[in-house]
A and B are shown apart, each in its own frame.
Chain A
């Protein structure tokens, strides 16, 4: 006879015992043909390649669509042909002809010149956030059908408004805004003249290695192999799971529940480095950490103060102690990995020099100032180090921490004094950053263009002219030389102290090979990834 006491104990133990039994079914290793990635997916708004403009969305788009050309992650001076087999410019550098290679959409249909022309026209007509990357060549909704034309099944021509450097055009077309979508499929899903926008936000119609199986916002994205696409490895699916917490990502990676963890911070990377089952794929990405000095502040408007700030900072100390695995010291406005990036590190901590510059500015006694910074690590730690560094030359910094969109909104309203923030480049050409940091023609409050320089009220006409000249230079080698000169001048004479470039790491389980990270998120691809 079972006593009541034993019955109760048994009942209590039963769920626990059956739970132990569950362990076996719950932890099967990930299948060999499915790649499972843990990643933060929370700021992704659209998977339409002509609309999506965030890093994670950009990466997914890049794995589902092809462009005429793509950036070469290993050699930034070149582009790699993809849908385009070859290209040439006319004598005036205004009409560019592309001959197409043989590629197929996921539907099995050939990628034709008509698809290419339609895709570029669609990007211009929709005029979403990234459209400026290609409408800067003079394309508008009204003229694009006459300027981008399919001549025959395999030939497309693009006519630009002004003579254009072909390297500039190609680099811009390598951005996701240049993605080729299947015209027939997209138009079949058009609603109220939206050119298939609503449908493409959650579906795919591309010729990339994978196609979209499902996107559950803030939960997961599943990609499945495009059977007609360029991928030749053993993966059939890529499942990206939204895992916010980096510590959870590391645990899942160590247990083998995921094959790749994408958002490990320095703290977790230190642990991952010493784990024999994990390999780290690292890449410096096009994201710069910099201090902006708002020129509406009389003290910050003095060029000697710009330099004093730059000479006061302990770049190496901060890198080694605060961001050893996530950032490298970098002082040019162009990121490493871009065409023509200057690698000079002219500024090192020199307190005496900085103090002399402060005295020269008539500010030997220093001044009080507020530094806005993002609240997420490593920014608070960096801000404290900056506060200490600047304190030594008399600049008394009050720190103001806020969520990053709050800091950006404040900067866009020109309400900051000093700000520690990050800047991510839009497309793979030096003009992308030169335009935002150097070209500010209208400094008025209601200017039509509000580039990064405008946000800190920085206007330098000579620098603007040099940036425009570099952008328009036809000779590729000379163009690079002009950009190198521009970067050095910007380092010397601008109220922006570029300090670091971000390094991204994909922590992979042993057996996962061929993961590629790009300088821009568009270069993050599973095209060559295999799983043993």
Chain B
């Protein structure tokens, strides 16, 4: 028990330190980057007196350590500051943009996992065969073709040429302003509003970006599954199971896969974190108002509070999912303990 507590407090302090380090780093980058945030706020043509006044209002006339302490104090009180671009508190913006990414990322991860793991297992079982080669080529393409290219090709074929998929955006224009925001997840909010047409429309809009992101993630998951599985299939317990005369399917899924599954936890956690970080390019091509688009737009406009806020959120997600994977790993594999 004492050991567990010790290990838990070590984990917690590691999380706090990571987040603090991230805050310091992002803050410093924001302050030394060669773009003046005041110009970004008031425009390049603003007169000098306005620039000086806004600089003071934003606290940028203070020494950097003072600015940092002030910012930390804000953070401790749960205040991420205001966004110059949206005129909203950063926390409000994140609450608006994050669900869009969450919806996309979760659906993509589910699809990628459902397809990627069986493919990886299949490839491993048929190692060296034509099936294995074909799956490897499929995964290589998924990982090496730029996502923006896949997105554009997908739009050109399914939206423009065939007309069987909707265009960019989260929903059709006729539903604009019609669905009250409850969870921020369009697929859920449309159901809560009792509007089935809008629900199908939301799903249809999600399909292309989800499939593209899932393909990208699936390629990684399948490759890792294949590698883990090849290792697992060489294990003595698998050889023993085979020697006992168990069927191939039973050996693979009941004996080898549980070991692979434990190893895959970290892979899935990191993939999910990567997806939640905001599939920036996909969000751009599909006009998907998610956290990735929010982060990049803010960065391009030197709007630093959202940049730091979003970066912290992404950091928190990475740390949180890593921690979750770690704990799960320990629970499922007693050897780690």
Residues of chain A touching chain B, judged by Cβ–Cβ distance below 8 Å, are 19-20, 22-23, 25-28, 30-31, 34, 36, 42-46, 53-54, 127-129, 131-132, 198, 201-202, 213-214, 216-220, 222, 239, 241-245, 247-248, 251-252, 254-255, 257, 402-403, 405-406, 408-410, 412, 424, 426, 436, 447-450
Contact = CB atoms under 8 A, between A and B. Distances in A.
B35 A45 contact: no
Contacts of B301: 42-43, 405
A402 B39 contact: no
B215 to A, nearest CB: 15
Interface stretch (B7-15, B16-24, B135-143, B285-293): B285-293
B181 to A, nearest CB: 10
Contacts of A30: 173-174
B85 A43 contact: yes
Interface stretch (B198-206, B262-270, B312-320, B324-332): B198-206
B169 interface: yes
B177 interface: yes
Contacts of B93: 217
Contact of A218 (B34, B41, B163, B289): B289
A216 B293 CA distance: 14
Interface string B43-87: 111111110010000000000000000000000000000011111
| Dominant secondary structure of chain A at its interface with chain B | mixed
B50 A247 contact: no
B118 to A, nearest CB: 11
Nearest to A28: B174
B304 to A, nearest CB: 12
A154 to B, nearest CB: 33
Given A42-B301, A45-B85, A405 B163 contact: no
Contacts of B48: 447-450
B40 interface: yes
Given A36-B173, A53-B43, 8 more contacts: A26-B166, A42-B85, A45-B87, A127-B50, A251-B168, A252-B167, A252-B168, A449-B47
A222 B302 CA distance: 26
7 contacts: A19-B165, A25-B197, A25-B204, A42-B297, A45-B41, A218-B289, A244-B293
Interface string B146-174: 00000010011001100111111100111
B246 to A, nearest CB: 20
B44 A218 contact: no
A450 B285 CA distance: 39
Interface in B168-210: 168-169, 172-174, 176-177, 197, 200-201, 203-205, 207
Interface string B80-98: 0001111110000100110
B177 A129 contact: no
Given A244-B287, A410-B34, A448-B48, A218 B293 contact: yes
